[in-house]
């Protein structure tokens, strides 16, 4: 089998994104495909292996929506620059160039990298491509074309205000006491607010609250320090490397990682209660009303 064919059969993608099952809210996007911190981290690591230290031969947006963000002028500006750093901040991937500029990528709901060569046929969902001087091609693939790639000029940043990283080892209850003090909203949407904590989305927020036996409806500002300590430990657990098996969510093995997410009507594996789904801030929240009482 030629290399290109084997690549087509086993496309090297990194967030586990697939055309997933739809969430049950008609106007909600399918969370089952949305990359959160562990998936974006895996994608950034793959990008590091493929691109760090190499020089950009060409970078271009293909889809009109992405062209508005990565303009032809900015594409020309990035050409010929060496990628000297690759970092993740929240769900953003930052490619630091030797010019001082930064390419900022956000996968949004469905984005992923496909890494191949400039000889490969372009994926039909490739929305932007970065060609490197050694013939590597990094394609930003996204069925919905909601992803973004922008160029931040040296000294400027398009990143929104972001809270502490959910994976930051210094995250503690005191941090939450401070940032949640005036949050009247329930803890679940507060955890998904990237300016509170960067990296968690709908899936991992629900999983952390289940691990911590915390009620997703509890007002964020009223959680005791003891409960916030439980929350910190739970976030650490759901993001821990042994849980990090980015695989396709729709695989049984992938779904097994989740205790409550998308399990409405199923039996809670901790207490035997029945998992419920409620809607908070327009998104589905899955939880066990019998044991998540905090």
Pick the closer one to Zn ion by CB: 91 or 277: 277
Question: Distance between CA 227 and CA 235 in Å, rounded?
Answer: 12
Q: Work out which of 47, 218, 268, 283 binds Zn ion, going by CB under 5 A.
A: 268
Tell me: does residue 271 bind Zn ion (CB under 5 A).
Answer: yes
Question: Distance between CA 216 and CA 186 in Å, rounded?
Answer: 6
Catalytic site includes residue 91: yes
Catalytic site includes residue 35: yes
Q: Work out which of 58, 185, 291, 294 binds Zn ion, going by CB under 5 A.
A: 291
Pick the closer one to Zn ion by CB: 236 or 290: 290
- The interface region with Zn ion, picked from 57-65, 162-170, 214-222, 264-272 by CB under 5 A, is 264-272
Tell me: does residue 217 bind Zn ion (CB under 5 A).
Answer: no
Active-site annotation holder among 81, 88, 91, 277: 91
- The interface region with Zn ion, picked from 1-9, 100-108, 211-219, 268-276 by CB under 5 A, is 268-276
What are residue 202's phi and psi, to 5 degrees?
A: -65, -35
Question: Distance between CA 61 and CA 286 in Å, rounded?
Answer: 37
Tell me: does residue 273 bind Zn ion (CB under 5 A).
Answer: yes
Beta strands in 232-282 (DSSP E): 276-280
- The interface region with Zn ion, picked from 34-42, 69-77, 136-144, 267-275 by CB under 5 A, is 267-275
Contact in structure between 82 and 54 (CB atoms under 8 Å): yes
Closest CA to 118 of 138, 98, 100, 91: 138
Query: Could you give the angle at the alpha carbon of 160 between the alpha carbons of 24 and 15, nearest 5°?
Result: 50
- The interface region with Zn ion, picked from 86-94, 200-208, 265-273, 276-284 by CB under 5 A, is 265-273
Contact in structure between 127 and 142 (CB atoms under 8 Å): yes
Question: Distance between CA 232 and CA 213 in Å, rounded?
Answer: 12
Residue 129 beta carbon to Zn ion: minimum distance, rounded to whole angstroms: 46
Pick the closer one to Zn ion by CB: 226 or 266: 266
Pick the closer one to Zn ion by CB: 271 or 279: 271
Tell me: does residue 270 bind Zn ion (CB under 5 A).
Answer: yes
Pick the closer one to Zn ion by CB: 219 or 289: 289
> Which stretches of the chain are DSSP H helices?
3-9, 37-51, 64-67, 72-78, 173-180, 187-192, 202-211, 225-239, 252-255
- Hey, which residues are catalytic here? 35-36, 91, 283
Q: Which residues bind Zn ion (CB under 5 A)?
A: 268, 270-271, 273, 288, 290-291
């Amino acid at each position: 089998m030629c290399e290109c064919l084997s690549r087509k059969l086993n496309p090297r993608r990194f967030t586990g994104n697939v055309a997933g099952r739809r969430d049950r809210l008609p106007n909600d996007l399918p969370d089952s495909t949305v990359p959160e911190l562990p998936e974006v981290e895996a994608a950034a690591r793959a990008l590091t292996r493929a691109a760090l230290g190499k020089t950009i031969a060409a970078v271009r947006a293909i889809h009109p929506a992405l062209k508005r963000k990565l303009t032809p002028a900015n594409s020309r500006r990035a050409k010929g620059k060496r990628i000297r750093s690759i970092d993740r901040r929240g769900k953003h991937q930052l490619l630091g160039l030797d010019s001082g500029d930064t390419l900022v990528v956000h996968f949004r709901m469905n984005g992923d990298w496909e890494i191949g060569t400039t000889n490969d046929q372009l994926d039909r969902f490739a929305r932007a491509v970065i060609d490197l001087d050694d013939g590597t091609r990094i394609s930003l693939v996204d069925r919905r074309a909601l992803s973004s790639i922008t160029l931040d000029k040296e000294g400027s940043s398009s990143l929104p205000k972001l809270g502490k990283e959910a994976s930051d080892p210094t995250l503690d209850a005191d941090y939450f006491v401070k940032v949640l003090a005036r949050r009247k909203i329930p803890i679940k949407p507060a955890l998904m607010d990237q300016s509170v904590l960067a990296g968690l989305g709908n899936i991992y927020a629900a999983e952390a609250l289940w691990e911590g036996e915390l009620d997703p409806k509890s007002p964020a500002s009223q959680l005791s320090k003891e409960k916030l300590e439980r929350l910190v430990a739970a976030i650490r657990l759901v993001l821990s490397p042994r849980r990090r098996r980015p695989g396709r969510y729709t695989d049984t093995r992938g779904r097994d990682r989740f205790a409550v997410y998308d399990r409405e009507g199923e039996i809670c594996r901790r207490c035997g209660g029945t998992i419920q789904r409620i809607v908070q801030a327009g998104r589905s929240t899955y939880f066990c009303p019998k044991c998540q009482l905090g």
